[in-house]
Amino acid sequence: MTTTRQAYSRRDFFGSFFRRGREAATPEPIGTEAQVAIIQGRFCLAYQKSFCSVCSERCPESEAIVIEGGIPRIVADNCTGCSICRDVCPAPRNAILIKPCVTA
Whether 1 maps to a domain, the answer reads no
Distance from C-alpha of 10 to C-alpha of 34, rounded to nearest angstrom: 34
Q: Domain tally for the chain?
A: 1
Average pLDDT over residues 69-92: 93
Q: Is the pLDDT of residue 76 over 60?
A: yes
Q: What is the pLDDT of residue 62?
A: 87
Q: Residue 33 has what pLDDT?
A: 77
Percent of the chain whose pLDDT exceeds 90: 59
What is the pairing mode between strands 65-68 and 71-74?
Answer: antiparallel
Averaged pLDDT for residues 66-92: 93
| 73 within some domain | yes
Band of residue 41 on the pLDDT scale cut at 50, 70, 90: very high
Confidence band for 25, pLDDT divided at 50, 70 and 90: very low
pLDDT at residue 8, as a whole number: 64
State pTM to two decimals.
Answer: 0.64
Distance CA 91, CA 30 (A): 27
What range defines the domain where residue 86 resides? 32-100
CATH classification at residue 42: 3.30.70.20
Q: How far apart are CA 56 and CA 88, in angstroms?
A: 10
